[in-house]
Amino acid sequence: MFDSAELGHKVDKETYRQKEPILRQELLETQYQLLDRADFPVVILLGGVPTAGKGEMANLLMEWMDPRHIASHAFGPPNDEERSRPPMWRYWRTLPPKGKIAILFGGWYAGPMWEYLSGKRTLEFEREIERIARFEKMLADEGGLLLKFWLHLSGDVLKKRLKKLSADELTAWRVSDEDRWFSRHYEQIIDASRSMLMRTNQADAPWRVVEGEDAQFRALSVGEQILDAVKHHMARPSVRQMRVETAPLLPPVDGLRLLDTLPLDQNLERNDYKAQLEAMQGRLNLLTRHPRFQDMAVVVVFEGMDAAGKGGAIRRITAALDARQYRVVPIAAPTEEERAQPYLWRFWRHLPAKGRITVFDRSWYGRVLVERIEGFAPRADWMRAYGEINDFEAQLDDANTIVVKFWLAISKDEQLARFQSREQTEWKRFKITEEDWRNRDKWDDYITAASDMVDRTSTLRAPWHLIGANNKNHARIRILETLCDAIEARLGKKEKKR
């Protein structure tokens, strides 16, 4: 991986003087084309050996191109807001919108690398690497261009450089304790890096190792690779063109789908309901005031047909909570800023901090429900969403954010009755639209899509809870109970670990 980058590559002054202005102008023009098309973002990740020129390279790129459309991000220790959410949250925040460029120092590799070096947590390191690979795959699938550079120096060259820099009063400040530490443990770090780079060398996002000793070689190498990659990416057939060929998911040959088999008509008498509601709300309230609740967070997801009772169920939950503690996020069409980002971006931004609860009224599952059925997302896009969603929810779970997902199931007759009743009640009319009737015509498609969804995303860590909801009272109690059980289980689990 690094051998070719220890050969002593060099570009002489004359060649650089000839090539630099041409490269620079082409980069600038290409940047403006990118901005003009605004159909994909470019992420340039700079990693490598200290003093191999990461900072200089970033400065040069900002100088060559228009810095108004480039953002750069370095990552120190996570701040309060970042620490209170899954580790990848901070990186999602720095993703550039379509048409723009971001330069990330180290990026999502910094974390696992330090983890690996600071101890023997090999398993966690492995898992982080897997996670990174999947994250990068997602970026590529969303159309993004990710360019990963490793600026390299051999151990000897690094040692000499640090010595020289330290000797001169004017440059000594450039050498940090971290750099010296790196130099002392060079072999070990390079071994770990090699395995990390090799594991994350994907066709969509290969590592580009560049020898960092000669500034002119480095500059032209990185610059030309960026130019070439962006041009290639622009020339690709569009995502939609590329993906029509994926084979569809077929419904079971006998037509029997999971969601056809649910019992829907469980009963619960009004008096029993009242008593149980109060008991459950009290239980939920107490759980959220448990001291250890401050170390966890809760994401509640509601999906189901129109008029299945999502709103009413949500209000029975929130009524038990302190207003300071929760947020309800209704998911409708994405905003302009959200459309310029990968699909999951708009959910990442709403994740609860520790001690908080976010209730999603509809969710990321829209990808495999309405977007699948209406053809808003190409088939390959919603099909890969199953895996991406499972990965997303696993990250939440790892960060001690439990994910509690409800599918509220009603019969087609019950929906009709509720639609009609809404139309007859003055102040409920806002709740029923033309679109609801159109969706109803696609009832069967929704049952098929939702059955696939449950099959493919009901994981052990974030299972779907299928709630028969023809009787609202029954549904509400079951939902509260399930939520309480889930929180209680997590509070108990933490205790054992300690």
427 scored as a contact of its own copies (CB under 8 A): yes
292 scored as a contact of its own copies (CB under 8 A): no
* Phi and psi, residue 103, nearest 5°: -110, 120
Closest to 309 measured CA to CA, from 182, 187, 409, 237? 409
Site string for its own copies, 90-119 (x = CB under 8 A): -------------x-x--------------
Among 10, 15, 81, 114, which residue sits at the site for its own copies (rule: CB under 8 A)?
81
Q: State the CB neighbour count (10 A cutoff) for residue 353.
A: 15
Select 57 or 449, whichever has its Cβ closest to its own copies: 57
The sheet with strand 70-73 has its strands ordered as 70-73, 101-105, 42-48, 145-152, 207-211
CB of 242: closest distance to its own copies in angstroms? 28
Select 81 or 130, whichever has its Cβ closest to its own copies: 81
CB of 238: closest distance to its own copies in angstroms? 23
336 scored as a contact of its own copies (CB under 8 A): yes
CB of 22: closest distance to its own copies in angstroms? 11
388 membership: H or E segment, kind and range: helix 379-398
103 membership: H or E segment, kind and range: strand 101-105
361 scored as a contact of its own copies (CB under 8 A): yes
DSSP 1-27: --GGGGS-----HHHHHHHHHHHHHHH
Site for its own copies in 391-420 (CB under 8 A): none
Please give the distance of CA 360 from its chain centroid, rounded to a whole number: 16
270 scored as a contact of its own copies (CB under 8 A): no
| Stretch of residues binding its own copies (CB under 8 A), selected from 26-34, 122-130, 260-268, 461-469 | 26-34
For CA atoms 369, 371, 374, 378, give the dihedral sign: negative
CB of 194: closest distance to its own copies in angstroms? 26
Q: What tokens were used for 202?
A: 């994907």
Lookup result for tokens 């759980």: 287
Among 12, 66, 130, 272, which residue sits at the site for its own copies (rule: CB under 8 A)?
66
Q: What tokens were used for 379?
A: 């088939």
461 scored as a contact of its own copies (CB under 8 A): no
194 scored as a contact of its own copies (CB under 8 A): no
CB of 383: closest distance to its own copies in angstroms? 29
74 scored as a contact of its own copies (CB under 8 A): yes
Lookup result for tokens 């962006």: 230
Whether the Cβ atoms of residue 331 and residue 366 lie closer than 8 Å to each other: yes
Site for its own copies in 171-190 (CB under 8 A): 173
Select 119 or 311, whichever has its Cβ closest to its own copies: 311
Whether the Cβ atoms of residue 341 and residue 95 lie closer than 8 Å to each other: yes
Residues 14, 19, 20, CA angle at the centre, nearest 5°? 100
Site for its own copies in 465-484 (CB under 8 A): none
Select 80 or 169, whichever has its Cβ closest to its own copies: 80
CB of 447: closest distance to its own copies in angstroms? 25
246 scored as a contact of its own copies (CB under 8 A): no
Select 68 or 270, whichever has its Cβ closest to its own copies: 68
Q: Which residues contact 109 (CB under 8 A, 6 or more apart)?
A: 45, 47, 132, 196, 200
8 scored as a contact of its own copies (CB under 8 A): no
168 scored as a contact of its own copies (CB under 8 A): no
CB of 119: closest distance to its own copies in angstroms? 26
169 scored as a contact of its own copies (CB under 8 A): no
Site string for its own copies, 116-155 (x = CB under 8 A): ----------------------------------------
Whether the Cβ atoms of residue 289 and residue 487 lie closer than 8 Å to each other: no
Supply the DSSP symbol for 364: G
Among 12, 178, 322, 423, which residue sits at the site for its own copies (rule: CB under 8 A)?
322
Q: With CB under 8 A, what is the number of residues at the site for its own copies?
A: 47
Q: Classify burial at 55, counting beta carbons within 10 Å of its beta carbon; exposed 0-12, middle 13-18, buried 19 or more.
A: middle
Lookup result for tokens 């820099």: 165
Task: Measure the CA–CA gap between 331 and 369, rounded to whole angstroms.
Answer: 13
Residues 378, 381, 386, CA angle at the centre, nearest 5°? 135
Select 31 or 448, whichever has its Cβ closest to its own copies: 31
Supply the DSSP symbol for 333: S
CB of 122: closest distance to its own copies in angstroms? 31
Among 270, 324, 496, 498, which residue sits at the site for its own copies (rule: CB under 8 A)?
324
Whether the Cβ atoms of residue 50 and residue 106 lie closer than 8 Å to each other: no
| Stretch of residues binding its own copies (CB under 8 A), selected from 64-72, 121-129, 223-231, 409-417 | 64-72
Task: Measure the CA–CA gap between 194 and 416, rounded to whole angstroms.
Answer: 61
Task: Measure the CA–CA gap between 21 and 371, rounded to whole angstroms.
Answer: 46
166 scored as a contact of its own copies (CB under 8 A): no
Among 157, 205, 314, 383, which residue sits at the site for its own copies (rule: CB under 8 A)?
314
Closest to 107 measured CA to CA, from 91, 127, 86? 91
CB of 438: closest distance to its own copies in angstroms? 20
Whether the Cβ atoms of residue 350 and residue 327 lie closer than 8 Å to each other: yes
List of residues contacting its own copies (CB under 8 A): 25, 28-29, 32, 36, 55, 58-59, 61-63, 66-74, 79-81, 103, 105, 173, 289, 311, 314-315, 318-319, 321-324, 326-330, 335-337, 361, 427, 430
